[in-house]
Every structure is written in C-alpha cells, then in structure tokens.
Amino acid sequence: MLCMVQSGSPWKKVNGKWSVVEPPQNKWISGKERKLQDILKKYNATKLKQEAKEPPVQEWVDTSFIKSYSDHTQMVNILEKVTSDHPDIAERYTIGTSEEGRSLDCIHISQGVKEQRTFLKPMVKYVANIHGDEAVGRELLIGLARYLTDNYESDPRVRKLVDTTDIHLLPSVNPDGNAADTRHNANDEDLNRAFPGWMELGMPRNDLTKDREKEVKAMMNWIL
C-alpha cells in the first residue's frame, strides 16, 4: 500500500513508522516582556561595541610575583632570597616568635637600608594574615616585597618610593593559624581581638603587654 505525503505535512517517518509531528506552538509574550527583550538586545549590542573599542587592561603587577600559596618555610626562604638578591635596599629581620615558636619575619625595604635612618623619613608598616585562614594578604605582601625590589632599577616610580620611604612588611602575624588553616592562633585566640582597647588608654606599656598573646606582644613592641 502506498501513502502519499505532501511536503510540509505534519507526518514524519521515524524508525520505519509514520507519526504525527505536532506543529510548534507560538509563544505569546506580553508587551512588557517584549519591551524588556528589546532593552536587553540594545544593551548587549552597546556593550559589545564598547568592549571592542576598549584597550586591554594593563597589569601593573606581573603574575609571576605571586605564583601560589606558601607555607612558613617557603615564605621565610622567599624573604631571605629577596634580601640576598637586593642587599642594598632589603633586609630581613624578626620581631619575635609565635606561640608555637614560628618566627614573625619582616622585610625592611628602603634605600640605604643598613644605614642609620634619616630623621623624619616617612615610614609605613604593613601587616597581613592576622587570621590564619585568610592568606591572600600574606601572599600580596610577599609579592609586594618582590615587586619593589625587582623593579627598583627599572621603574622610576618604584625607585622614588623606595628611596624616600622606610617600608616594613610583615606577611604573617599568625603563622601558627596559617599552618593549621584556622582563624585563631595556637591558643585559639582571635589575635585581631586581642589588642588593648580604649579602656586601657593611658596605661603603662608593661601593663598593656602583660598576659597578651606572644604574637600580639611582639606586634605592640614593634609598633609602639
């Protein structure tokens, strides 16, 4: 038996059998929805034109300066290498130890770093990783140390900054917490809440540092 099927017929042969193909249903949209679609089309078209005209964003810091997260030993080794590679403008030192005995390592970056400090020379002290599981700031300060020293000879802005400022970087206030991947230090203390407050204003330094966490005491003696 022959079956004639006209072109455009709602019949279709599937696996040797003829079956009815339902015509596509027209989707009716409201005037509000159509207006929204038109707005989105215009917005996307405008955005594509703008992106085509915009120049690529310049990266001021090469990603090679921050390669991956570092543990305590790696951090110390990086700071030591920066110091050995740039002995005239960089010097590593420690302000104390953590509750578990890890060193609180800093790097001092400035022109004539081993000479007596010039009177009234501006000084900045940056610290990071006071919460052990917040490691981004730690890596940023390590990257900053590398950036300032590696670009001192080639970048006039960096040279001017290093020549006129005493820069001290402490990448990790809480190395024990970082090693344990926890917010608090080894004594389960939140170091960011362990410093003196306004209630202690005017007290002698010995009283202010008494019974504080080792990391906090080291920070206070470094800052005050």
Q: Which pLDDT tens digit goes with each residue over 37-74?
A: 777 777 777 777 776 776 665 555 566 667 678 999 99
Average pLDDT of the segment spanning 206-213: 92
Average pLDDT of the segment spanning 181-197: 95
State the pLDDT at residue 27.
Answer: 56
- Matching residue, tokens 């006209």: 6
Q: Quick one: which of 86, 138, 88 has its CA closest to 113? A: 88
Q: Are 90 and 83 in contact (CB under 8 A)?
A: yes
State the pLDDT at residue 23.
Answer: 57
Q: Quick one: which of 158, 172, 147 has its CA closest to 63? A: 147
Q: Are 187 and 63 in contact (CB under 8 A)?
A: no
Q: Are 148 and 111 in contact (CB under 8 A)?
A: no
Residue 215 has pLDDT above 50, yes or no: yes
State the pLDDT at residue 6.
Answer: 44
State the pLDDT at residue 2.
Answer: 43
HEC profile of 1-31: CCCCCCCCCCEEEECCEEEECCCCCCCCCCH
Neighbouring-strand partners of residue 185: none
**Exposure of 72 by Cβ count < 10 A (0-12 exposed, 13-18 middle, 19+ buried)?**
middle
Residue 196 has pLDDT above 70, yes or no: yes
Residue 144 has pLDDT above 90, yes or no: yes
Q: Are 191 and 182 in contact (CB under 8 A)?
A: no
- Give the CA count within 13 Å in the CB-facing half-sphere of 53: 6
State the pLDDT at residue 13.
Answer: 61
Confidence of residue 18 (pLDDT cuts 50, 70, 90): low
Q: Which pLDDT tens digit goes with each residue over 83-119?
A: 999 999 999 999 999 999 999 999 999 999 989 888 8
> Going edge to edge, which strands form the sheet with 166-170?
90-97, 103-109, 166-170, 123-127
Cα maximum dimension of the chain: 109
State the pLDDT at residue 14.
Answer: 63
For 112, 146, 221, the CA distances from 80, given in Å and listed in that order, are 18, 11, 23
Contacts of 123 (CB under 8 A, 6+ apart): 165, 166, 167, 168
Neighbouring-strand partners of residue 92: 107
pTM: 0.71
State the pLDDT at residue 50.
Answer: 72
